[in-house]
Amino acid sequence: MIKLLLLALCVSVFFGGGLVADACPRKVVILLGAPGSGKGTQAKKLQAIFNLPHISTGDLFRFNIKEGTPLGKKAQEYTNAGKLVPDEIVLDMLFDRISKDDAKQGYILDGFPRTIPQAEALQKRLEDKDLVIALNLDVSDDTVVKRISGRRTCSVSGEVYNIYFAPPPKERACKEGELIQRPDDRPEVVQERLKVYHNQTEPLIQFYDRLGVLVNVDGEKDPGAILTELTRVINEKIESVR
């Protein structure tokens, strides 16, 4: 009865400094889509709107590579070649990240899962009450190639621009640093990443569809319209379990 009431109000109860009852469904937002489909751009905005951490396995690898950690050293040869990092390595890193305090109420996954075994491992970690929302950003291969060839990241702020479609504003054009191209955004690597996407990641669309949690979104629209659509869908799903 108390659990039902808590669920209805979606509140967490703390006692003596510890969490004793948490009936709120954890929100697990999964962004699916090819490289360059806009997952990262949208996840950054959704993080602020829903107050959930944005967890990008690609960013975690890039951070570890930059810092020269043992994990980064293991991942580098795969990321530079546009190949997937082996599942065991990704899963250890991801599970460690989602066990952090800031992910207790949920999280937004960007770039994970990328294989069926990764998706199955995540499902095993989740609880029945968790609210899983898989959003697929649908874009053509042509769009991917165009977007990725223009993608540049500010070496200092980490902000992502596109020199063709979303150039940095002149007055704050990454003044402290320089705009750099990710090594795996080079044209020869992009083709490999697309191949890997179609072979190993695209089957996840059907995986989440079978679970009844998939929503397809037109990723060719402008970023503002896509954000409005994603926000609407997530709100609707949250309301449906209240």
207 forms part of the interface with ligand AMP (CB under 6 A): no
Give 83 or 221: the residue with its C-beta nearer to ligand AMP. Answer: 83
How many residues of this chain interact with ligand AMP, rule: CB under 6 A?
Answer: 18
Q: What is the three-state SS of the chain?
A: CHHHHHHHHCCEEEECCEEEEECCCCEEEEEEECCCCCHHHHHHHHHHHHCCCEEEHHHHHHHHHHHCCHHHHHHHHHHHHCCCCCHHHHHHHHHHHHCCHHHCCEEEEECCCCCHHHHHHHHHHCCCCCEEEEEEEECCHHHHHHHHHHEEEECCCCCEEECCCECCCHHHCCCCCCEECCHHHCHHHHHHHHHHHHHHHCHHHHHHHHCCCEEEEECCCCHHHHHHHHHHHHHHHHHHCC
Q: Which of 33, 53, 106, 111 binds ligand AMP (CB under 6 A)?
A: 111
Stretch that binds ligand AMP, among 105-113, 136-144, 152-160, 222-230 (CB under 6 A): 105-113
Catalytic residue among 62, 147, 151, 152: 151
57 forms part of the interface with ligand AMP (CB under 6 A): yes
Minimum CB separation of residue 131 from ligand AMP in Å reads 21
64 forms part of the interface with ligand AMP (CB under 6 A): no
Residue 152 annotated in active site: no
Residue 182 annotated in active site: yes
Give 24 or 85: the residue with its C-beta nearer to ligand AMP. Answer: 85
